[in-house]
Each structure stands twice: as structure tokens, then as C-alpha cells.
Structure 1
Amino acid sequence: MVDPTSEQDAPTRLEAGGTNAIGRMLGVLGDEWTLLVLQQALTGVSRYAQFRANLPISNSVLTARLQRLSDEGMLERHVYQTNPLRAEYRITPRSRALWPVMLSIWEWERHWVADRADDLPVMHHDTCGHDFAPLMCCRACGKSVSARDVAAAWGPSGTWERSVPAGATRRRSDSDGAHGQAGLFPDTMTIFGNRWASALMGAAFRGLTRFSDFASALGAPPTLVADRLKAFCALGVLEATENPTRSDWVEYHLTEKGRAFFPVVVASLQWSEHWFVAPEGPALVLSHRSCGAELVATFTCDQCREPLAGHDISIRPSAEGGDLPRGGAET
């Protein structure tokens, strides 16, 4: 007899030559409503009415996102009442493992997006008893890691074409919900919530700077590349500068705000490679220039410098609010 728990804990095996781990990750996480539902689930919310009460979301959108997350193994539906029918949605090992991604998003938006600090949950490290910010470190050498410290190269399953989600990604219209877009992860979704935007950001982290290089690598229409570059400059994650040797060339470089998004990228990549396994091998290989090892990122507490584990983190809705249930899992 097959143990259903083992099946639930197992990664998804991808087809050879198909969408790789990056594409699957973007297809799941590149949607603001999905991130918000997962945020609620990781802090203990499990029932439909609770999600509706906590989020500015319509019934149709919530139903669709819960179904999608259940199909992807991110939530597990349990019927707790039959007349009338009532179900709750429990987090799974796959969704618990997202805690570094969510912490990284919260920390980036708190630091870099105006007026977000008061809206985002406070992260408390139960081990040392302090509120904290997560620090990304290299597991091999223990040093903190920034975008400048890391080299990236395509792995066996890595190409731009295979890194695009299989389903079309789009911006939601007002018809997607009673209140239109949620607007609760605004800058993150500008980067993450559109396949071309996320691909362009990935290209910037890999060192591309020229318009023609972005267009060639992504295989995207020039007008679309121009639109994304303009949006990223307006957001402040890229800045346009003239080439010192060619005044007719404009180059696009990551800003401090753009480079600070790197922990979100790394945490998302690590989650995707663990849970979506291509037979050829990983989509992207990161190496830590400082020690020469393949980068396996760990997240530590900036107060005590001890490694973080999801079960040691408490999440509070605000500095004044009470503790919500812990939503993480051991690493």
C-alpha cells in the first residue's frame, strides 16, 4: 500500500524538455492573490470564511486560487462538515517550505516600498526572543551573500524558453476580484507577477545591461522589453545610464533596491529546484564567488546570527498585534 503522506511530500517530476523548475515556480508564485492566500495559510488561516474576512478578494477568485493551490500540492482540502458542506485548506510540506520566500518578500517590501512597514507582519525569532530581519548566508562558508557575490549559469534544464510558465501569465483586471488588484505586494508583483518581467529581472541579475541583449535573450518583442525596462526604472530597481564610450548606447543597471531583491530570487529558485525536478538536472546553478562553492542559501537571524527555522518564527500582524500561529517548517 502506498503511503499518501509520502506521495504528498514527494517533489513533482517534470517531463524531459518541458517547462523547468523556474517556469513552474513562476506559474505558481507569480500571482499576487496566490501569495496572499499562502501568506494567510502560513499564519494559521485554513477556512474559506477566514480567507474572505482577511483578504479583499471575491468568492470566484478565492475559489479559483484555493483550487489551484490544492492541485499544485500547496494546500490539502479536508471536509470537516457535510451538511452543509464545509472544508478547510491545510498547509502541506510544499507550502511550509515557502517560509524563506515569504520572509524575504516581507523584508524587501518593508525596507524598500514606501508606507509598507506598518502593514507587513513583524517577524519574531523565538530562539533569541527578538524581532528580526532575515540575513541570507552561504551554507558552505557561513558568510552573508549579496547579488554581487554570486555567479549564475544555466544548468542542464535551463534555457529562457523552458523557464517560461506553461500557462499564459497576465495582469489581473478588475473583473478578477470584487476590489480589483489586491495591491498588497505592489513592487514585488511588478517584478514577479508577469513572465516577461521576471525573465528580464533574471537577465539583469545575470549581467545583461543593453536593450538589444535583453530582447535577444528573452526573445520578446522590442516594445514589450521597452515597456518592462521603463517600468523597472520607474520602480527604482533599474537605472538607465549612458555608456561612457558610446553616447548613443543606454545601459540598464541594477540599483541598490534592485540588488536587494536577490534573496527573494534565491529563495524562490531553491524552493523550485527542490519541489520541481527535471530529469536533465537543475535549471540554474549559482556559485558563491567568495568561497567557490555552489551556493546553497541559508537564512539567519540578524540579532543572534543563528540559522532560522520556520518552527522557531512567530508572525505578528503588526508591532501592536498579538501573535499568530507559526506557519513555517523545519529546514
Structure 2
Amino acid sequence: MDGAEREPVRAELGAIGQALAILGDRWVLLILQRAFLLRIRTFAGWRDALGISESVLAARLRELVDHGIFELSAYRNGRTRYEYRLTERGLRLWALLVAIQAWERDWVSRGRFPPLLHELCGQDARPRLGCGVCLEPMSARDTRTEPGPQAAFSRVGPPRRHRRTVRSGTPADLIGYCPASMEILGDQWSTSVLAGAFLGTHRFVDFQSGLGIAPSVLTDRLRRFVELGVFDPRPDGSYRLTDRGLAFFEVFALLVDWAQRELSASEGSALSITHLRCGAAFRPVLLCRACGRPLERREVRFLLPG
């Protein structure tokens, strides 16, 4: 199913499950990263930049258009051609993609990525998660998460829509490919397992029953998370998030926020996240470590080499 075969996102999934079904694919993330960082807009541009097969690229672009993340725009270049432009819904994914690279930089690649210039203060922003209400830096430990009455764990786990595609042994590049992040976000089951951990699931049997995941698939994902240093296996058989795993909450929080703002879902299926320090409903923002101000899309840019 890594070619042109496609399935609609299940309507009964909650907003988070829908978001995972849309974004939980390595090629989708790479397409979006190139769109933001290199402003690629054409089929040929992504094909040449990513080395992706035309059938896979066509399928992913069609899905992104169907989900309102890209829109087709006609232009003239001798004859009428089409390019893919990010919609407002798509543009609002910028913080999620910045958070992915920030996590890789801080916890995996240690400085391999280019600086993110915050034009308001002229410094490397080095983004960190903050509360959009009180503007204080925060972490997963500073929150309380309460699922709605219809937010069954099984509604977080999306159906498998594409064959798992991970380029093992491929190093991080300076533009977009983040191997550790792609192991988590580039695979729907991996993201669902991590979401379960943030919601308090720790044991194999609970992951399996909550997600409806095959034991062999769950075993593989748990093994990879241990190898990545995201989970710590305990003698009692449980899996606990390490500091590296807890730091990925920044990405998870922005994914949840985007999903619940942008995607329709049944009443009562949302997650309610509270910032314990100020008591407000959590609205995640990225803060500049240099000046402490919230980062805005139009006020930041990566300083790419060359």
C-alpha cells in the first residue's frame, strides 16, 4: 500500500487519530518539510529533492490536497501547469515541524541542524515549549491530561494506510530527514504507542488492548523505542518514558493542538490538557530561548547552508 492505493480517514476516529492518519507517514512529513524550508511547490521539485517514486508522490500529494493542507494553483509556463500551495490549515503545521527539528537537535543529533533565526531579537531561537496563556516555559510534567468521555484509546490509533517506510542507517540531513523523529511520527502505530504512553499507558497488555495492535507489531515498536532511548523497560514489565521521551511531549502537544483546532470530531472525543502552574487550558506555543517571546511563523527562518 505504499503506492497509489488510498483509504479515507475513518470518520469515527477522534481528531488526534485523524491527524495521525494524515501525518503519520515519513513521505508526508518530508514533503511538508521541503515545502516549508525550501518552498518547493511542484511535483518535479519534490520528486527530484526526495528521490521518491512518482506513484508514491502523486498519492501523498493527492491526500494532502484532499485533507485541505495543500491546494492546487494553476500558473503559466508556456502551458498551464499546477503547483501545490500550503493552505492556512497547512501553514499552521509550521510549529509542529519546527518542534520536530528542535527535539532532534536537542536529544539526537546534537547541533547538526541549522540555526532558527528569530528576527525580532536576531538570535538563534532554539525553540522550547511554552504556555500560550502565561508564556512560561513548561514540560510534560507541568500538565494534566483528561480524555473526554468519548475519547477511547482505540480512537487514537489509526488504521494502517501505508506500508511502513523507514530508511535505516540514513543520517540526518540539514534540511528535513530526522531519523529518530521519523521512527516515531513517520509511522502511525509508533505515534499511537507514544501517545498512549503520554496518556498513562505503561504495560504491553494495555497498549495492545487499547490500540488493537498486533502483538508482533507492538513488540517491534517497543523494541525500537527502547533502542532510541525513548522508553525505559522496567523489571516489572512496564515501559516508562525517559527524559528524551518526555521531551517529545513538545511535538505531541503541538500535534494535539493542531488536530483539535483543525479537524472535526465527535463531541466528547477531545483531550483536555491543563497547565498546572497557571490552571489554564493548555495552548502550546514555541518560545524563543534568547528573548522569551512566542515565535511566529513570519518572524523566524532557518539559516540554511549555501
Which residue number corresponds to residue 230 of structure 2? 237
CA contact (8 A) 1:301 1:307 kept: yes
Q: Note the C-alpha offset of 1:167.
A: 5.5
Distance of 1:270 and 1:128 partners within structure 2 = 27
Q: How does 1:120-199 map to 2 (within 5 A)?
A: 120-166=113-159, 168-172=161-165, 184-199=177-192
Q: Does 1:90 align with 2:76?
A: no
Post-superposition Cα deviations, 1:276-327, rounded to whole Å, max 9, x if no partner, equal 0224145211112222222111211111111111011112324xx3xxxxxx
Structure 1 stretches lacking a partner, 5+ long: 1-13, 175-182, 243-248, 322-331
Quote the offset at 1:223 in angstroms.
3.1
Q: 1:50: Cα distance to partner?
A: 2.3
Q: Is the 8 A contact 1:210 1:250 kept in 2?
A: yes
Measure how far apart 1:186 and its partner are: 1.7
Q: Is the contact made by 2:156 and 2:211 (CA closer than 8 Å) also made in structure 1? A: no
Q: Deviations over 1:35-64 (max 9, x none)?
A: 111112123221223223322222222222
Q: What CA deviation, in whole Å up to 9, does each residue of 1:197-227 have, x standing for no partner?
A: 2221112112222223322322333333222
Q: Distance in 2 between matches of 1:285 and 1:312?
A: 29
Change (3 A) 1:226 1:173: closer
- 2:74 partner SS: strand
Give the alignment's TM-score, normalised by structure 2.
0.86
Q: Tell me the TM-score normalised to structure 1 length.
A: 0.80
Q: What is the DSSP-based 3-state SS (H/G/I as helix, E as strand, rest coil) of the residue aligned with 1:101?
A: helix
8 A contact 2:152–2:269 mirrored in 1:
no
Q: Give the AA of the match of 1:90.
A: R
8 Å CA contact retained: 1:27, 1:169: no
Cα distance 1:60–1:222, how it changes in 2: closer, same or farther (>3 A)?
closer
1:27 partner letter: A
Residue type at the aligned position of 1:98: L
Offset at residue 157 of structure 1 (A): 4.1
What value does the CA root-mean-square deviation take over the aligned residues?
2.4
1:304 aligns with 2:297: no
| Among candidates 283, 287, 291, match of residue 270 of structure 2 | 283
Unaligned 5+ runs, structure 2: 1-8, 168-175
SS in 2 for 1:250: coil
The 5 Å alignment of 1:1-331 reads 18-43=12-37, 44-81=39-76, 84-114=79-109, 117-118=111-112, 120-166=113-159, 168-172=161-165, 184-242=177-235, 249-318=236-305, 321=306
Q: Distance in 1 between matches of 2:204 and 2:166?
A: 29
CA pair 59-222 structure 1, distance change in 2 beyond 3 A: closer
- The separation in 1 between residues aligned to 2:46 and 2:188, in whole angstroms, is 27
3-state SS of paired residue (2:257): helix
Per-residue CA shift, 1:130-181, capped at 9, x if unaligned? 121112111233221111111212124411222233553430389xxxxxxx
Contact 2:131–2:282, Cα closer than 8 Å, also in 1: yes
Moved more, 303-312 or 53-62: 53-62
Bigger mean CA offset, 34-43 vs 21-30: 34-43
Alpha-carbon distance between aligned partners in 2 of 1:238 and 1:69, rounded to the nearest angstrom: 31
Partners of 1:40 and 1:223 lie apart in 2 by 33
Q: Which has the larger radius of gyration?
A: 1
